Structure 1
């Protein structure tokens, strides 16, 4: 029997309204409503269009097993220039269900190290309870403790993405709206995820996105973001920014480095520090301003030069510092396929997804999967847990 909820899921995942899907299928909006609510079944021609549009196999709609547990929309924290958009949030909540479903398949074959991000979240919760509120001092302490636990210590931030993935985070790239840099969420099984925009940003700006979202994951667990007022939303954004600043640029080390900066109001004076810390010139100067190393007038002059030199768009070294891309899920799949623990055919049979959809969900190019598209293999591993 055709499972209408599956059509709703795949439609929302791709950002279609019922009316938009109806136009794409050349049917009425009422017909789509009937398909989704179990009052009608798509005909052969319509079914063919649906499969082609969404890159799923026929069995996807006739299998009543759900695509994982519902992800709560109110727990999705955006790094964005605008407050959460309801339609977009709904789409991303469905996306998180789909990607979590794929991650569960992977974890049948791959055992990851201890999730230090989860331990840091619990540590943060206990610190906030003890303090009674989130204060600037507490944010600073949590940021430094997080840096130490993750193994950054006195190092720069060059390997930040790798260390986050190694210690429990799942990071994926996805086509987000122009105004959204990233978002984060805790999935229902205590699996933390950060979704980065696949828009070509510089490596250093991406580091700040990661640190900002890590701040949300640790400081704002179970906060209902959809119910926040604009003022409350701006407050948690400031807290995430403060965490990111202290996490990426520890005060003691940064103050020592700033002694070598002679003209603190000149953006070009920060190029060497940018190369060392892998943090943008704009963020370095803002951190200096936070620590009272620049006066208000000096900081205004700095920003004027930033605009004059076009550094709001591209800074020096942006084109030479390589962009680090997520590798945890890619490497997990490679390990599974190359060690004959499973294969792409089994993966597709389990999900009923075509390669194009799997590629889109993981943010991994189709060519990666195509080279594993071979005849089924004889596994040398225990059967996947159902």
Structure 2
């Protein structure tokens, strides 16, 4: 039976209004309302056209309800700056990620969530406590995505070329998810990931109960990310004698953060005079280092997704087949893994024709920090 909620989901996933879909379909907007409210179903030719316009297979519209993300349960960094269209697009990607994750977890044993509740601690203390609990010491975190995955966080991509979209996190079935804009620099993406980790360990109650996401929560998540990536004592130990741009570039490469984030952290820890900090900010802006990072680090990739798709390939299951079993097109899978897996994992080639209906269960994926 046709599921009208999937019609609405497909439309909002593509960022389309009812008016636009009606115009492209050659019907009145009231007809779209009728389709989505289950007053009546679209004729077969109209459904085929909807499938073509919204880029979902016809089979998709006959599935069960899609797991949706309520706005106040997600921690978007720039929620106030985002249009409803962008939010719907991002949340739609999240919903499909839930479906993909369920598919993967039915076939693989992934690490279970290991995130403590640190809501009673300040951002600085929470960052230090989490580092201590995870045995990280004061050293730099070499690969943050690998670390998150080893602690049960599911990391997916937001393949959206929009500066308003940074990242967001959400809890689903007691499992933490982080979505990163992989079009951004590796340094900024790492900070976004640490920011979302701050929400997951300090704002879990608010996220689960749909409480309003406040600007103060965003500031505190930024403070957590700064302290988590740049521990106080280690930053103090690396204080340069002459804090200029060249010296800070070497230090920022050590911590894996942006030049601006390092300067801010050093100023916060009173390692810079106000004059020196202002001068550094001016130089960073003039050199264009706020948008293009000097001596950038390589992007981080997902260890879990790489191992999953590698194992599937060995069993003759490509991304096209995964998409077919989820009743979506392969572009949805590619978007969720964009920038997180090597290009060699993408669909295509002879192996994609070897469709199977099931995948044997494999041992627990061992994730290295």
What is the TM-score with the length of structure 1 in the denominator?
A: 0.83
The CA distance in 1 between the partners of 2:6 and 2:335, in whole Å, is 18
Whether 1:267 and 2:245 are equivalent positions in the alignment is yes
Q: Displacement of 1:8 after TM fit?
A: 0.6
RMSD: 2.8
Residue 25 of structure 1 is matched in structure 2 by 25
Relative to structure 1, the CA distance from residue 222 to residue 96 in structure 2 (aligned partners, 3 Å threshold; closer, same or farther) is farther
Residue 197 of structure 1 is matched in structure 2 by 181
CA contact (8 A) 2:97 2:156 kept: no
Residue 222 of structure 2 is matched in structure 1 by 241
How many residues are matched?
356
Relative to structure 1, the CA distance from residue 361 to residue 8 in structure 2 (aligned partners, 3 Å threshold; closer, same or farther) is farther
Residue 166 of structure 1 is matched in structure 2 by 150
Whether 1:213 and 2:196 are equivalent positions in the alignment is yes
The CA distance in 1 between the partners of 2:331 and 2:257, in whole Å, is 35
| Match of residue 278, structure 1, among 256, 268, 278 | 256
Residue 171 of structure 2 is matched in structure 1 by 186
Q: Displacement of 1:148 after TM fit?
A: 3.5
Secondary structure at the counterpart of residue 169 of structure 2: strand
Whether 1:251 and 2:232 are equivalent positions in the alignment is yes
Q: Displacement of 1:240 after TM fit?
A: 0.6
| Match of residue 114, structure 2, among 113, 116, 126 | 116
Relative to structure 1, the CA distance from residue 378 to residue 15 in structure 2 (aligned partners, 3 Å threshold; closer, same or farther) is closer
Whether 1:157 and 2:157 are equivalent positions in the alignment is no
Secondary structure at the counterpart of residue 156 of structure 2: strand
CA contact (8 A) 1:79 1:183 kept: yes
Please say which of residues 108-117 and 373-382 is displaced more in the overlay. 373-382
Residue 302 of structure 2 is matched in structure 1 by 326
Residue 358 of structure 1 is matched in structure 2 by 333
Secondary structure at the counterpart of residue 205 of structure 2: coil
Secondary structure at the counterpart of residue 98 of structure 2: helix
The CA distance in 1 between the partners of 2:125 and 2:304, in whole Å, is 29
The CA distance in 2 between the partners of 1:113 and 1:226, in whole Å, is 26
Structure 1 unaligned blocks of 5 or more: 129-133
Please say which of residues 354-363 and 236-245 is displaced more in the overlay. 354-363
Residue 131 of structure 1 is matched in structure 2 by none
Q: Displacement of 1:87 after TM fit?
A: 4.6
Residue 130 of structure 2 is matched in structure 1 by 146
The CA distance in 2 between the partners of 1:324 and 1:25, in whole Å, is 42
Whether 1:103 and 2:101 are equivalent positions in the alignment is yes
Relative to structure 1, the CA distance from residue 310 to residue 195 in structure 2 (aligned partners, 3 Å threshold; closer, same or farther) is same
The CA distance in 2 between the partners of 1:207 and 1:356, in whole Å, is 25
Q: Displacement of 1:257 after TM fit?
A: 1.0
The CA distance in 2 between the partners of 1:89 and 1:55, in whole Å, is 19
Q: Displacement of 1:239 after TM fit?
A: 0.6
Structure 2 unaligned blocks of 5 or more: 362-369
The CA distance in 2 between the partners of 1:357 and 1:345, in whole Å, is 10
The CA distance in 2 between the partners of 1:278 and 1:366, in whole Å, is 26
CA contact (8 A) 1:75 1:221 kept: no
Residue 381 of structure 1 is matched in structure 2 by 360
Secondary structure at the counterpart of residue 241 of structure 2: coil
The CA distance in 1 between the partners of 2:224 and 2:230, in whole Å, is 10
The CA distance in 2 between the partners of 1:380 and 1:178, in whole Å, is 38
CA contact (8 A) 2:131 2:137 kept: yes
Deviations 1:22-63 (A, max 9, x none): 223232211211111222332333222222233333222234
Deviations 1:93-115 (A, max 9, x none): 34322211111111011001232
CA contact (8 A) 1:56 1:357 kept: no
Q: Displacement of 1:309 after TM fit?
A: 2.2
Q: Displacement of 1:287 after TM fit?
A: 0.8
Q: Displacement of 1:349 after TM fit?
A: 4.7
CA contact (8 A) 2:107 2:359 kept: no
CA contact (8 A) 1:173 1:326 kept: no
